[in-house]
Chains A and B, each alone.
Chain A
Amino acid sequence: MVGKKRSYGQTLALVIATMLVIVILGVGIYYLLLIFGGARQTASAVDAGSLNVAKVALLAPSIALSASDPTERAIQAVVGKGNNVNLLNFNKVVAWGLLVAANALADGSDEAKAEAKAVWMKIEGDTNNSLGAKLQKALVDPTSSIPTGGGEDVPAGPNWAKNCFNAAALKNVTAMANAGQQVRWLDFKTAYLGPGDSTNVKASAIKDNLPFSDINSGTRYSLPNQLPETSDGFIKGYKPIEMPGIGTFYFVTVYPDQLPGLRSIDEYKRGLEQPGKDLVAIPPNTFFSQADITVTRSNTVLQSSTPACVGGKVYPPLTSLKTNNYLIVDNSPSGTYNGPYPGGCQVVDCEELGRGIHVLTDDHGNGQLFSLNQQDLQNIKSWLDNGKQGAPPATTDTVYFYSTGSEATGDGLKALNKASPNILTCTDYNSDSSNAGFTPQCDDKDAFNNAYHPGGKNTTSVTVTGLTAAEKMKDEIFKRFHTYSDNHELGTLSVNPAIITGLGLYDKIKNPITNPNENIAWGTNQGGKSGGDQVGQCYCCGDGDYVQAGKMGKVTTQFKLPEGSDQTTTANVSTFPYTLQVGTAEETLIDTNPGPGKTPREALYRYFQNRCRQMGAEQTDIDSVWTNLQIDIGETRYVFINGAGKLDHSTTVPDSIRDLAIPPPSTEPPGLGGKIIRYKKQYNVFWNMVNAMNDFNVHDRMFTTLCQPGVMPATDSLILEVATGATGCLGRLNLRERLDNGPGPAPAIAPPTQGPTEDSYDSKITVVTGVNRSNEAGAPVVCEPD
């Protein structure tokens, strides 16, 4: 039977069916929207997590440095005490290593190159154990640990990649995908993005601070190849910088003008291989994080991944390298005098030690004439030789007559004494303030008496330090003379083993030649102070600043040939060649008039300036230290960057470098891994002794005549020990004065020996040490005058 079809309702069914389709479609779209929305939320969460990994990676994981390894101690100084090596400061370490390599190549010595290569190996050249390799392993390994104290977004403990990812990703809502579950970290990989992009080190930090290959000519070392540099002046990351014989350096791209940022998958894939992987091990800069989430409605798993690259925008780029390296200026040691104290340095004594005393003896045993003025004695001698014709000659300076006999009138000097108002007669009697007729001026020369007259006063022994080698030698003579005068043995003075000291510089204004009322204190290491413990310091000088301690910029000026205007002795001056010796090469005679830019001072300034700049010093600070750094005899000064980032200097080892392997002072500079450059000026301490510039009289001859010719060479040197900085030391400038037999005839200083005996006053102008002691020893030393 055929059923009767309903005659109505067909349209309703159609509408219902249509509505059903629409509802199903709507529900489907809703679910689709949830999936899409969930995907967006998941992607955002993964983006955030990945960015946080890249953000943290600049600082952690990091590599601690070993205190037992000298190179790592030097690197510790570069990154700062207590800091580890991380991705942010890794480039600073590489830049430092590059400068060390440049210093080594500029120096050229094998030892320096080996040292620089060891540094390169330590930084990144050793693909297994270098700092770069360790940092690479730490960053690539997601289970690496981060120490505490990194901040809110830097979770401490192991699994750094997961923890850092979760620290940011889990703060993102992913409810559209799954209200009860958040994204789940899966894995991460690393890459090396941006070869040729910016590091955080300005190229100028290297280019402007390259060392000099020859400081004397001012020739600057050039890198073998142009330093790869971005358009904004940064060194390019992940690009090779070849340093022949040392290694190939690679910096890491860290984008100093960007924040950590996401990168495209395509770029990430292009950077999977480490640049220069066969040569070095360097850390990655991009971190590819993967995570997923289960979408509740569809029970499907949504996976999201994204690479994020580091960005150093919040950290200042390195325009210069504050490396905590240092320079040493060594003006030690100083000579030490231990002997009788002259008992105050009166005029005669000060001058005596500074200029030499001229003596005219009277072999009748009546005494001697002493004067600082050779011409005065020469005139007197001529007057005597000519039978005392006419009036006695007037004298320019005071001539002391020390009588050893009675006050009876007599011939010779006593007659002269009576005749000449310029001659001051002193005796034991009128030298004693307790006696009637006391002559204060004679008392003032107690020290003179003490030195040149037996049984003198004030024989207290003192120990004085701060003497240069030449000064020390004068003291030796002084002391020996004194002991002789006390009837002790006077042996041949020996300066072997060699006496080596630092150099001194004295205030030109206090030159006793031009300022006769001022006396130079010699051998002091306490500028501006007067004290009884300083041989040669004079009460007559007061407490003024009569000694200007050596300042580096001035001490180095001494190293040019003496100029006439600065010499107090113009006659009988002879100099040994002023020479330059580089390394073990033969000494080179330096042009006597080298001209602007080529003096030793300027050469040394170049080195000083360059190394200070390598430390990160500003030019104004460099000049200030160079000009004002005071180097007293016996001192060692350290030039370093202080806590405020300024160039500074100190006599004590500053904290910033205390942990470094600091070379101990040495009288014979052994070298610090690089060349040794010596600027030398040699002169004879005896006879025609040259007055070193600005060294008024301290180096002047103290003997107007020697009984026999001789040479006692003194060598003033500026010895530069070039250093690469591999251990933190960028060089040492040694100021040295050395007395030794040196080249030429053997030293000739002899005790008084038997000489001709003349029963007359026909004495000669003789040497101080050879003051005619006929009354005492019966064996006067008579030498021909000049």
Chain B
Amino acid sequence: MKLRNSRGSNLSETGPALFIFFLGILFPMIDLLSIAFIYATCWYINFTVANQAARARESERDTIVTGVQKQIYNTGFASFLKIKDGDIKTDVNYPAVEAGLPAVLQCTTTVTGKPLVTLPAGGIIPAVPGLSAPVTFSISTEMTRESTLK
């Protein structure tokens, strides 16, 4: 019986191994990393806006929201995460104060980002947000207001 060529087996195994490594491990990991960064960005925007809005007058809300979002858009981070104008939406509401409770604000931030490496999808392979399709995160915060001025 003729033995199989060991060199040939290496060559023949490398292809599938690389395929599995890139598509199954490395790219998804990179995408997971980008998902984490998109989430972290969403959280950061939400926290920053809520925190600043809590310390400012209601009339300054739009300035704060626009300022923080603009700050994110202008970073290379946003480009890295493929966050473009309109991908960040922040809504700050001031619910009516209930008797005996402190005044609060509600801040909801939605960020849509694309995976760093978009994996192929189509046919029988469904598009997976964060891997092969844009992913959207929405974070809501309720925070006690430091300033209750209009």
Query: Which residues in A have some Cβ–Cβ distance to B below 8 Å?
Result: 7, 10-11, 14, 18, 22, 25, 194, 197, 255, 257-259, 261-264, 266-267, 309
Contacts and interface: CB of A to CB of B under 8 A. Distances in A.
Given A7-B10, A11-B17, A257 B55 contact: no
Given A258-B147, A262-B146, A18 B17 contact: no
A261 B147 contact: yes
Nearest to A18: B25
Contacts of A11: 13, 17
A22 B29 contact: yes
Contacts of B29: 22
Nearest to B52: A264
Contacts of B147: 258, 261-263, 309
A261 B7 contact: no
Contact of A197 (B14, B17, B25, B149): B149
A499 to B, nearest CB: 66
Q: How extensive is the interface on chain B, given as a class?
A: 20 to 34
Given A22-B29, A261-B55, A264-B55, A10 B10 contact: yes
Contacts of B52: 264
Nearest to B63: A266
A263 B55 contact: yes
B80 interface: no
Contacts of A255: 149
Given A10-B14, A11-B13, A267-B56, 6 more contacts: A14-B17, A18-B26, A22-B29, A266-B60, A267-B60, A309-B147
A7 B7 contact: yes
B6 A264 contact: no
4 interchain residue pairs of minimum CB distance: A261-B146, A7-B6, A262-B146, A264-B56
Contacts of A259: 102
Nearest to B57: A267
A263 B56 contact: yes
Nearest to A307: B55
Contacts of B57: 267
B54 interface: yes
A257 B21 CA distance: 62
Interface in B29-75: 29, 33, 52, 54-57, 60, 64
A266 B61 CA distance: 13
B134 to A, nearest CB: 23
Interface-centre pick from B6, B14, B56, B147 (highest chain A CB count, 10 A): B147
A262 B7 contact: no
A259 B33 CA distance: 42
A263 B26 CA distance: 45
B148 interface: yes
10 contacts: A7-B6, A14-B21, A261-B55, A261-B146, A262-B54, A262-B55, A263-B55, A263-B56, A266-B56, A267-B60
A261 B53 CA distance: 12
A8 to B, nearest CB: 8
Contacts of B60: 264, 266-267
Contacts of B102: 259
Given A264-B55, A264-B56, A257 B10 contact: no
Contacts of B145: 261
A597 B142 CA distance: 60
Nearest to B20: A11
A680 B55 CA distance: 64
A14 B25 CA distance: 12
Nearest to B146: A261
B148 A257 contact: yes
A266 B6 CA distance: 70
A241 B149 CA distance: 23
Nearest to B64: A264
Contacts of A309: 147
Contacts of A267: 55-57, 60
A263 B10 contact: no
A264 B102 CA distance: 19
A236 B3 CA distance: 97
A261 B105 CA distance: 14
B37 to A, nearest CB: 11
Interface in B116-146: 145-146
B148 A258 contact: yes
A671 to B, nearest CB: 47
B64 to A, nearest CB: 8
A494 B10 CA distance: 144
Contacts of A261: 55, 145-147
Interface in B5-24: 6-7, 9-10, 13-14, 17, 21
A7 B10 CA distance: 7
Nearest to A32: B40
Contacts of A266: 56, 60
